[in-house]
Amino acid sequence: MSELAVRAEKSDAADELAGLRERFVLDEAVYLDGNSLGALPAAVPGRLDDVVRRQWGSLRIRSWDESGWWTAPERIGDRIAPLVGAAAGQIVVGDSTSVNVFKALVGAVRLAGEGRDEILVDATTFPTDGYIAQSAARMTGCELRPVAPDEVADALGPRTAAVLLNHVDYRTGRLHDLPSLTAAIHAAGALAVWDLCHSAGALPVGLDAHGVDLAVGCTYKYLNGGPGAPAYLYVRRDLQDRFDSPLPGWNSHAEPFGMRTAYEPAAGAVRGRVGTPDILSMLALEAALEVWDGVSVEAVRAKSLALTDFFLECVGAYVPEGVVESLTPAAHAERGSQVALRCRDAGAVMKRLVERGVVGDFRSPDILRFGFTPLYVGFADVERAARVLAETVG
Amino acid sequence: MSELAVRAEKSDAADELAGLRERFVLDEAVYLDGNSLGALPAAVPGRLDDVVRRQWGSLRIRSWDESGWWTAPERIGDRIAPLVGAAAGQIVVGDSTSVNVFKALVGAVRLAGEGRDEILVDATTFPTDGYIAQSAARMTGCELRPVAPDEVADALGPRTAAVLLNHVDYRTGRLHDLPSLTAAIHAAGALAVWDLCHSAGALPVGLDAHGVDLAVGCTYKYLNGGPGAPAYLYVRRDLQDRFDSPLPGWNSHAEPFGMRTAYEPAAGAVRGRVGTPDILSMLALEAALEVWDGVSVEAVRAKSLALTDFFLECVGAYVPEGVVESLTPAAHAERGSQVALRCRDAGAVMKRLVERGVVGDFRSPDILRFGFTPLYVGFADVERAARVLAETVG
B185: left (phi over 0), alpha (psi -120 to 50) or beta: alpha
pLDDT of A232-241, one tens digit each?
A: 999 999 999 9
Peptide bond into B365 cis (omega under 30): yes
CB < 8 Å to B284, chain A? 52, 280
Does residue A41 lie in a domain region?
Answer: no
Picking from B292, B316, B337, the residue at the C-terminal end of a domain is: B292
Contact B312, B4 (CB under 8 A): no
Q: What is the pLDDT of residues B232-271, one digit of tens each?
A: 999 999 999 999 999 999 999 999 988 899 999 999 999 9
Active site residue B110: no
Q: How confident is the model at residue B108 (pLDDT cuts 50, 70, 90)?
A: very high
B128 annotated ligand binder:
yes
| pLDDT more than 70, % of chain B | 100
Q: Are residues A303 and A327 in the same domain?
A: yes
Identify whether the C-beta of residue B327 lies closer than 8 Å to the C-beta of residue B171: yes
Same domain, B228 and B354: no
Do A300 and A287 sit in the same domain of this protein?
A: no
Residue B354 pLDDT level (bands cut at 50, 70, 90): very high
As a whole number, the mean pLDDT across chain A is 97
Can you tell me the distance from the alpha carbon of A384 to that of A237, in angstroms, rounded to the nearest whole number?
A: 46
Which residues 101-160 of A have a C-beta within 8 angstroms of B? 102, 106, 123, 126-128, 130-132, 134-135, 139-140, 146
Sign of CA dihedral B233, B239, B241, B245: negative
Verify that A162 and A126 share a domain, yes or no. Answer: yes
Q: What single letter denotes the amino acid at residue B168?
A: V
Work out the average pLDDT over B270-280: 97
Q: How many domains does chain B have?
A: 2
CB within 8 Å of chain B, chain A residues 200-219: 218
Residues counted in chain A = 394
Q: How is B319-344 classified by DSSP, letter by letter?
A: SPTTSEEE-S-SSGGGB-SEEEEEET
**d(Cα A236, Cα A351) in Å, to the nearest integer?**
43
Tell me the C-alpha distance between B61 and A35, whole Å. Answer: 11
CATH number at residue B253: 3.40.640.10
pLDDT number for residue A46: 98
Question: Across residues A164-188, what is the average pLDDT?
Answer: 97
Say if residue A251's pLDDT is above 90: yes
**Cα A241 to Cα B92: distance, rounded to the nearest angstrom:** 35
Query: Given pLDDT bands bounded at 50, 70 and 90, which one contains residue B78?
Result: very high
Could you tell me if B38 and B372 are in contact, meaning their C-beta atoms sit under 8 angstroms apart? no
Closest residue by Cα to residue A106 from A73, A142, A74, A131: A142
Per-residue pLDDT, B310: 98
Per residue in A336-386, pLDDT (tens digit) is 999 999 999 999 999 999 999 999 999 888 999 999 999 999 999 999 999
Q: Does one domain contain both B247 and B142?
A: yes
Predicted local confidence at residue A89, as pLDDT: 98
pLDDT tier for residue B164 given thresholds of 50, 70 and 90: very high
Residue A42 domain-assigned (yes or no): no
Residue B311 annotated as catalytic? no
Give the total residue count for chain B: 394
Residue A209: pLDDT over 80: yes
Residues A178, A275 within the same domain: yes
Which position among A220, A232, A243, A310 bears the catalytic label? Answer: A220
Q: A369 and A274: one domain?
A: no
- In-domain check, residue B27: no
Residue A381's nearest CA partner among A371, A367, A369 is: A371
Mean pLDDT value across residues B188-217: 98
Q: Do B365 and B218 share a structural domain?
A: no
CA-based nearest residue in chain B for residue A251:
B128
- Is B135 in Cβ contact with A139 (below 8 Å)? no
| Last residue of one domain, picked from the residues A254, A275, A292 | A292
Q: Is residue B42 part of a domain?
A: no
Q: How many helices (H) and strands (E) does chain B have?
A: 12, 15
Residue B186 and residue B320 share a domain: no
Q: What is the pLDDT of residue A113?
A: 86
Model pLDDT for residues B288-322, shown as the tens digit of each residue: 999 999 999 999 999 999 999 999 999 999 999 99
Between A259 and B169, the higher pLDDT residue: B169
A279 CA to chain B: closest CA distance, Å?
A: 6
pLDDT bucket at B87, cuts 50 / 70 / 90: very high
Residue B394: what pLDDT?
A: 75
Which of B55, B124, B247, B260 would best serve as a mutation to test chain A binding (most A beta carbons within 10 A)? B247
Torsion of CA A83, A89, A94, A97, to 10 degrees: -60
Question: Mean pLDDT in chain B?
Answer: 97
Q: What is the pLDDT of residues A285-309, one digit of tens each?
A: 999 999 999 999 999 999 999 999 9
Tell me, what's the pLDDT at B326? 96
Q: Write the pLDDT tens digit of every residue in A91-125.
A: 999 999 999 999 999 999 999 988 999 999 999 88
Whether B28 maps to a domain, the answer reads no
The answer to whether A65 is annotated as binding is: no
With a cut of 90, say whether residue B364 has pLDDT above it.
no
**Chain A window 302-321: which residues touch B at a Cβ cutoff of 8 Å?**
none
Stretch B370-394: mean pLDDT: 96
**Residue whose C-alpha is closest to residue B137's, from B100, B168, B163, B167:** B163
Q: Render A261-312 in DSSP notation, one character per residue.
A: SS--BPSSGGGG--SS--HHHHHHHHHHGGGGTT--HHHHHHHHHHHHHHHH
The pLDDT tens digits for B16-37 are 999 999 999 999 999 999 999 9
Cβ–Cβ below 8 Å for A281 and B277: no
A218's enclosing H/E stretch is none
State residue A346's pLDDT score.
96
Task: Tell me whether residue A257 is in a domain.
Answer: yes
State the CATH number of the domain containing residue A342.
Answer: 3.90.1150.10
Question: A394 pLDDT exceeds 80?
Answer: no
> Is 90 exceeded by the pLDDT of residue B113?
no
Contact call for A275 and B31, based on CB within 8 A: no
Q: B47: left (phi > 0), else alpha (psi -120 to 50), else beta?
A: alpha
Q: Which of A276, A292, A308 is the last residue before a domain boundary?
A: A292
Q: Mean pLDDT, to the nearest integer, of A7-17?
A: 98
Determine the Cα angle at A36 with ends A92 and A127, to 5°: 75
Q: Is the dihedral of CA A316, A318, A323, A328 positive or negative?
A: negative
Q: Domain span at residue B286?
A: 47-292
Asked if the structure places residue B31 within a domain, the reply is no
CB contact under 8 A, B263 and A140: no
Instruction: Tell me, yes or no, whether B286 lies in a domain.
Output: yes
**What pLDDT is recorded for position A364?**
85
Residues of chain B contacting A354 with CB distance shorter than 8 Å: 62
Cα B139 versus chain centre, distance: 26
Find, in chain B, the residue whose alpha carbon is nearest to that of A221: B61
Nearest-CB residue to B40 (from A56, A98, A126)? A56
Q: Which of residues 327-386 of B touch A (CB under 8 A)?
A: 354, 359, 361, 363-364
B124 and B251 within one domain? yes
Considering the domain architecture, whether residues A71 and A203 belong to the same structural domain is answered as yes
**Contact at 8 Å (CB) between A222 and A203?**
no
**Shortest Cα distance, chain A CAs vs residue B201, angstroms:** 19
DSSP classification of residue A57: I
**Annotated catalytic residue A369:** yes
Other C-beta atoms closer than 10 Å to the C-beta of A115 total 9
The per-residue pLDDT for range B29-64, each reduced to its tens digit, is: 999 999 999 999 999 999 999 999 999 999 999 999
Residues B329 and B287 in one domain: no
Contacting residues for A121 by C-beta, under 8 A, at least 6 apart: A129, A130, A133, A144, A145, A146, A147, A163, A164, A165
CA-based angle A227:A233:A237, to the nearest 5?
A: 155
Q: Which helix (H) or strand (E) holds A72?
A: helix A72-80
Q: What is the pLDDT of residue A162?
A: 98
Number of H helices, E strands in chain A: 12, 15
What is the per-residue pLDDT for B259? 86
d(CA A198, CA A33): 12
User: What stretches of chain B show up as alpha helix (H) in DSSP?
Assistant: 3-14, 44-50, 63-66, 72-80, 97-112, 127-140, 152-155, 178-187, 279-288, 297-318, 346-355, 379-393
